[in-house]
Amino acid sequence: MNPEDIAQRLELLRLEHRDLDAAIIALGEATVPDQLQLARMKKRKLRLRDEISWCEDQIIPDIIA
Specify whether the CB–CB gap between 44 and 20 falls below 8 A. Answer: yes
| Percent helix, percent strand, percent coil in the chain, to nearest 5 | 80, 0, 20
- Residue 65 pLDDT greater than 80, yes or no: no
At residue 60, what is the residue type? Answer: I
17-52 confidence digits (pLDDT tens): 999 999 999 999 988 989 999 999 999 999 999 999
54-63 confidence digits (pLDDT tens): 999 998 876 7
Domain segments of the chain as ranges: 3-59
| Confidence at residue 59, expressed as pLDDT on a 0 to 100 scale | 87
Query: What is the pTM for the complete model shown?
Result: 0.84
| Confidence at residue 39, expressed as pLDDT on a 0 to 100 scale | 96
- Residue 8 pLDDT greater than 80, yes or no: yes
Distance between CA atoms of residues 27 and 30, nearest Å: 5
